[in-house]
């Protein structure tokens, strides 16, 4: 009897194990990734999304094309985001040694971007206050097709914060610090501050002469807090120093008492510019402005914004799942661009990047992202690698319709929020590297001449050796062009046209088929040019 009882126990135990195995297998088929692996994938793929729009010269396009054929121009805000993304990618590589998903050459990539923008600036693309166009051609920095040319103060502020991030994170790299300061010190953010101390309208757009456009103003509080913060931190020698201090102290120094509108949503007080605002505004202020992060009142408003967001969704659609929320901005499913807010989201568009952006103050946001991923809501495959999936905007009313583009400026908070997780880079990562240090206003002058010699090893044509060796030194990461012209000025050969790191180089010019005579070797490194004559002998 005891034997039979033990036998039954064994059989029942055996079947219980089988049931558990099959249950686990079934769950894996439905949800093949663990919660931690889903978050890891979303994190690495969010960086890959930004990396996907980086061009060979280091410029980032405004958006990643998901469907269709029309490429977007480059944008100045996207390049600030790209620079911060490289800081994150470098830090994650050092932590994980994963060179597939992260970057082990981030310093060279950052400097390539900075050098390109220095060259853009020297070619005359900026206005008199140092602002870059909001959108531009990725190769020239000038106007892109028929897109409007405007000098957006907030977009340049995001770019500037990318520069500040790099000067802090790569503080030991003299080339990066020098180049970043060159660009930073040339942008005068006090141009966005009104001269009239009673005028609370901050200028959103400047003209080509660096002057304000009267009908392009915004009132605090919104993302232009970043512009005001950069203006406040200019040198005291700046002619706009006093007005920028007054503006900041009057409208931003203390959100509880400052002259900014406040609205109440179901018992939660929110700061705004007179109407309910998208939550990317609070998040941008959090990630880019260290003053916001270190102020308890601002942080309470951030928490209120998070709670109000979820509350609105439950009231707008009682049947909605608790993990579906996020009042943000970006491409709409099916077309158009919109910024959604409380009582201004008729299509019930969910913005997962807003959910991620609240991770530093709302730990459950991580689980909400996992739920969206498992339910395949707002799930997109990246065109360059369909195995990589990310979360972006979708309509709760019709989740099957997707977006055509993913704008970096909107999507950025997905990367930022996931980076703040304790298992990744932690909350203090942004607090540390977004700080505007007083020493950063001192510009380290970079050399105008980035090479010191061209040596022609062979100056004659030989039937035995039909090559000419051209050697040169590059003193820091630079864009290098090496071309050959005949005596009439006609280009006969392009030997090199690419970014090169510091080093000594020897490039060969094959002269096969060329007649004897006088030729010219033109070497250009960034904006510096040297030309040397070469004589080929028949």
User: Measured in Å, how far apart are the chain's first and last C-alpha atoms?
Assistant: 109
1 lies in the same domain as 51: no
Q: Are residues 15 and 109 in the same domain?
A: no
Q: 3-state class of 401 per DSSP?
A: coil
Per-residue model confidence (pLDDT) at position 528: 72
Residue of 536 and 209 predicted with greater confidence: 209
Tell me: pLDDT of 326 over 70.
Answer: yes
Nearest to 86 by CA among 65, 122, 60: 60
* Residues 414 and 513 placed together within one structural domain of the fold: no
Number of helices (H) and strands (E), helices first, in the chain? 15, 23
User: Is the link from the previous residue into 365 a cis peptide, with omega within 30 of 0?
Assistant: no
Does 94 map to a domain? yes
Longest dimension (CA), the chain: 110
Q: What whole-number distance in Å separates Cα of residue 269 and Cα of residue 282?
A: 13
Closest CA to 446 of 174, 184, 186: 174
pLDDT at 504: 84
Whether residues 464 and 327 fall in one domain: no
Nearest to residue 220, comparing CAs of 267, 307, 289, 165?
289
User: Nearest-CA neighbor of 28 among 40, 17, 20, 16?
Assistant: 20
Within this chain, do residues 375 and 518 fall inside the same structural domain, yes or no? no
* CATH number of the domain residue 401 falls in: 1.50.10.140
Rounded to an integer, what distance in angstroms lies between the CA atom of residue 63 and that of residue 455?
A: 44
Sign for the CA dihedral angle at 268, 273, 274, 276 comes to negative
My answer on whether 435 and 489 are in the same domain is no
Residue 448 maps to a domain = no
**Partner residues linked to 381 by β-bridges:** 389
Mean pLDDT, residues 419-425 = 96
pLDDT average, residue stretch 239-248:
96
**Do the domain assignments include residue 185?**
yes
Angstrom distance (rounded) from CA 300 to CA 255? 10
Among 153, 155, 26, smallest CA distance to 79 is for: 155
**Where among 441, 469, 486 does a domain terminate?**
441
Lowest mean pLDDT among 26-35, 133-142, 312-321, 337-346: 26-35
CA pair distance 178, 499, nearest whole angstrom = 18
Lowest mean pLDDT across 93-97, 245-249, 424-428, 521-525: 521-525
Q: Of the residues 441, 463, 483, which one is the last residue of a structural domain? A: 441
Above pLDDT 90, what percent of the chain? 68
- Closest to 64 in 3D by CA, of 505, 424, 402, 349: 402
Look at residue 527 and tell me whether its pLDDT is greater than 50: yes
pLDDT at position 44 over 50? yes
- Which pLDDT score, from 0 to 100, does residue 90 have? 97
Question: What is residue 452's predicted lDDT score, i.e. its pLDDT?
Answer: 45
Structure tokens belonging to residue 132: 């870059």
Domain count, the chain: 3
Q: Which two tokens stand for residue 20?
A: 């558990």
Higher pLDDT, 129 or 532: 129
In the beta sheet, which residues pair with residue 205? 152
Considering the chain, what is the average pLDDT of its residues? Answer: 88
Report DSSP letters for 172-213, one per residue.
T-HHHHHHHHHHHTT--GGGGS-SSTT---EESEE-TTS-B-
User: Residue 18 pLDDT more than 60?
Assistant: no
> Based on the domain organization, do 418 and 476 belong to the same domain?
no
Residue 481 — pLDDT band, cuts 50, 70, 90? confident
- Highest mean pLDDT of the ranges 54-63, 457-466, 476-485: 54-63
Residues 415 and 463 grouped into a single domain: no
Number of residues assigned to the chain = 538
What confidence score (pLDDT) does residue 438 get?
Answer: 59
Residue 20: band (very low, low, confident or very high) from pLDDT cuts 50, 70, 90: very low
pLDDT band at 215 (very low <50, low <70, confident <90, very high): confident
Give the residues across from 65 on adjacent strands. Answer: 405
- Within 13 Å of residue 475, how many CA atoms lie on the same side as its CB? 14
pLDDT at 510: 85
Shared-domain flag, residues 71 and 15: no
The SS3 of residue 307 is: helix
pLDDT of 492 > 60? The answer is yes
Q: Are residues 76 and 197 in the same domain?
A: yes
- Beta-sheet strands, E only, within 384-527: 385-391, 394-395, 405-407, 454-456, 467-474, 478-486, 491-500, 503-510, 517-525
Tens of pLDDT, residues 157-197? 999 999 999 999 999 998 899 999 999 999 999 999 999 87
- The verdict on residue 195 lying in a domain is yes
Q: Is residue 349 in a domain? A: yes
pLDDT of residue 71: 86
Note the pLDDT tens digit of each residue in 358-393.
999 999 999 999 999 999 999 999 998 999 999 999
* C-beta separation of 165 from 110 below 8 A: no
Residues linked to residue 285 through DSSP beta bridges, in sequence order: none
For residue 31, pLDDT beyond 50? no
Confidence at residue 232, expressed as pLDDT on a 0 to 100 scale: 97
E strands in 34-87: 63-65, 74-75
Greater confidence, 29 or 160? 160
Residue 167 structural domain = 35-441
Same domain, 373 and 476: no
> What's the confidence (pLDDT) of residue 356?
98
3-state secondary structure 200-211: CCEECEECCCCC
Q: Confidence class of residue 475 from pLDDT cuts 50, 70 and 90? A: confident
What pLDDT band is residue 489 in, cutting at 50, 70 and 90?
A: confident
Structure tokens at 205: 């757009």
Inside any domain, residue 447: no
Rounded to 5°, the CA angle 115-121-126 comes to 145
Residue 314: count of CB within 10 angstroms of its CB: 13
Q: What's the 3-state SS for 263-298?
A: EEECCEEEECCCCCCCCHHHHHHHHHCHHHHCCHHH
pLDDT in the model for residue 12: 54
* pLDDT tier, 296 (very low <50, low <70, confident <90, very high otherwise): very high
Tell me the Cα Rg of the chain.
Answer: 28
DSSP single-letter state for residue 440: G
The pLDDT of residue 88 is above 50? yes
| Residue 24: per-residue pLDDT | 45
The domain that contains 513 carries what CATH number?
2.60.40.1930
301 and 274 share one domain: yes
Higher pLDDT, 178 or 23: 178
Choose between 466 and 404: higher pLDDT. Answer: 404
pLDDT for position 530: 77
Look up the pTM and report it: 0.78
At 424, is the secondary structure helix, strand, or coil? coil
Q: Of 209-213, 290-294, 410-414, which range is least confident?
A: 209-213
Task: Give the pLDDT band of residue 538 (cuts 50, 70, 90).
Answer: low
| Contact criterion met (CB below 8 Å) for 390 and 49 | yes
How confident is the model at residue 488, as a pLDDT?
Answer: 73
């Amino acid at each position: 009897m005891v034997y039979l009882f033990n036998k039954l126990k064994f059989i029942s135990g055996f079947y219980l194990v089988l049931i558990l195995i099959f249950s686990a297998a079934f769950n894996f088929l439905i949800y093949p990734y663990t919660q931690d692996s889903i978050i890891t994938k979303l994190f690495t793929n969010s960086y890959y999304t930004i990396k996907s729009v980086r061009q060979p010269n280091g410029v980032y396009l405004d958006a990643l094309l998901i469907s269709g054929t029309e490429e977007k121009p480059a944008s100045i805000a996207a390049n600030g985001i790209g620079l911060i993304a490289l800081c994150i990618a470098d830090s994650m590589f050092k932590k994980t040694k994963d060179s597939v998903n992260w970057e082990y050459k981030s310093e060279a990539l950052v400097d390539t971007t900075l050098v390109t923008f220095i060259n853009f600036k020297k070619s005359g693309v900026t206005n008199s206050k140092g602002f870059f166009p909001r959108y531009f051609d990725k190769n020239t920095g000038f106007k892109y097709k028929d897109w409007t040319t405007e000098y957006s103060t907030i977009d340049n502020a995001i770019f500037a914060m990318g520069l500040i991030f790099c000067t802090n994170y790569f503080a030991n790299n003299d080339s990066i610090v020098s180049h970043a300061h060159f660009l930073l010190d040339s942008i005068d953010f006090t141009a966005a501050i009104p001269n009239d101390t009673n005028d609370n309208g901050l200028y959103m757009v400047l003209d080509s002469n660096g002057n304000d456009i009267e009908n392009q103003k915004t009132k605090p509080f919104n993302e232009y807090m970043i512009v005001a913060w950069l203006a406040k931190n200019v040198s005291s020698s700046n002619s706009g120093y006093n007005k920028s201090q007054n503006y900041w102290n009057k409208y931003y120094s203390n959100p509880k008492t400052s002259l900014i509108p406040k609205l109440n949503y179901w018992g939660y007080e929110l700061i705004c510019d007179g109407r309910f605002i998208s939550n990317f505004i609070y998040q941008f202020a959090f990630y880019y402005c260290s003053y916001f992060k270190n102020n308890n009142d601002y942080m309470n408003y951030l928490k209120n914004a998070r709670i109000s967001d979820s509350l609105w969704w439950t009231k707008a659609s009682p049947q909605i799942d608790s993990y579906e929320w996020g009042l943000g901005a970006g491409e709409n499913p099916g077309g158009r661009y919109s910024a959604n807010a409380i009582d201004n989201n008729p299509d019930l568009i969910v913005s997962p990047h807003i959910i991620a952006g609240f991770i530093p103050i709302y730990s459950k946001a991580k689980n909400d992202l996992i739920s969206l991923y498992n339910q395949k809501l707002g799930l997109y495959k990246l065109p360059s690698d369909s195995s990589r999936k990310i979360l972006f905007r979708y309509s709760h009313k019709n989740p099957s319709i997707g977006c055509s583009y993913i704008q970096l400026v909107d999507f950025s908070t997905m990367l930022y929020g996931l980076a703040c997780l304790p298992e990744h880079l932690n909350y203090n990562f942004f607090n540390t590297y977004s700080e505007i240090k007083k020493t950063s206003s001192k510009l380290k002058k970079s050399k105008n001449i980035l090479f010191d010699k061209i040596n022609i090893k062979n100056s004659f044509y030989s039937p035995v050796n039909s090559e000419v060796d051209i050697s040169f030194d590059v003193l820091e990461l630079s864009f290098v062009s090496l071309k050959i012209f005949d005596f009439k000025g006609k280009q006969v050969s392009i030997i090199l046209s690419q970014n090169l790191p510091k080093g000594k180089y020897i490039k060969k010019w094959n002269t096969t088929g060329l007649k004897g005579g006088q030729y010219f070797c033109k070497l250009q490194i960034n904006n510096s040019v040297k030309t040397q004559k070469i004589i080929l002998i028949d």
